[in-house]
Amino acid sequence: MSGQSSKRFRSPEPQGSVKRPNQEQDPQPVAQLEKAQELFREARKTDLYDKLFDLLDRETPPQEFELEACYSSIFKKLAQIIAGRDDIPVPPSNQCMTFLDLCNPNLEREEWGKKTMELSMKTLINYIKTEDEKKPTLQTPTSNPKPTIKELVQTAWKTAYVGNAHELLKGAMNAMYQNSFERPYANFCAIIQGSGTGKSRLVDKLADSVFMIPMVLRPTGDRSGFPQGDMADGQPLLRFFCTKTTKETLELHVQRRYLLFLLKIIAFVDNWINLWKRSGLGIERVAADWKEYLGPPLSPERLKMYTTAIDPS
């Protein structure tokens, strides 16, 4: 897109006069404001407006994380210009119209559109200033906020794994597998322990040497847990397993639904293995290579696998 857009998403034309920024507040330095305006002028030459428009215009309402992910990059650049930092929390998805207005190349051609963009810019700048005052800069050691449990877990996840619990679990699985033909319905186990004690990290570490299809069933409302729940076709994967059925078709419907789900995942994995075999890599790397290819929840290939798996066709 070169500044022209075939789409029209006009904010309502303001009636009467438009309020100017509050003169009682400290005026924004001219250099900062010019840089902020230039940032969005450049954005209007990209496809950011079209991406936001398509998300809002589609039949299925977008998830919060989809909208926030769409404008998070440009917001961080704006926060760096205004506050000199890029760790300001990204505005919630209800602010998406503000970004849509500022990225809309059609608005700058009308006088009322320019005023709309001016108000939208003021909204974002005030948001950044407010959040900057609430959350001291991370570079100040004396004002370093205490990290949340989720932040601690995310940091720990990236450090070297300590201990051999994954080897013990692997041995237990091998022992179970030896008797799996005699007791096919007993070939499973539960890992039970308190939150944040390393259950998910244990299984993730095991995936380096054991071929695994990971699945995190966590509702989107759970913001404290880690890893984040898997998604499929714009909705939590958990929702696929919670679909209500009628009493008459419950058993047959659920069995068929889950069978198709598993078969499509197996087909997805089988296709990857066929491609991997052609690479000529050693078998000892297959589990780790698959883990790297699939990635964590919300990564492209993992989203594709589960979106394909829940497709009823």
The answer, yes or no, to whether residue 28 has pLDDT greater than 60, is: no
Tens-place pLDDT, residues 114-165: 888 889 899 998 888 888 887 665 444 444 567 777 777 778 888 888 899 9
Cβ(3)–Cβ(105) below 8 Å: yes
Over residues 59-78, mean pLDDT: 81
Would you call 183 exposed, middle or buried from its count of C-beta atoms within 10 A (0-12, 13-18, 19+)? exposed
Cβ(227)–Cβ(297) below 8 Å: yes
The confidence band for 294, taking pLDDT boundaries of 50, 70 and 90, is: very high
State the pLDDT at residue 15.
41
- Non-local (6+) Cβ contacts of 68 within 8 A are 90, 91, 92, 93
Query: Between 311 and 252, whose confidence is greater?
Result: 311
Strand partners, 235: 232
The answer, yes or no, to whether residue 106 has pLDDT greater than 80, is: yes
Cβ(107)–Cβ(18) below 8 Å: no
Single pTM value for the model: 0.53
CA angle 49–51–53, rounded 5-degree value? 65
* Beta-strand relationship, 235-236 and 231-232: antiparallel
Give the distance, in angstroms, between the CA of residue 238 and the centroid of all CA atoms in the same chain: 16
Over residues 38-57, mean pLDDT: 85
**Four-point Cα dihedral 99, 105, 111, 116, nearest 10:** -10
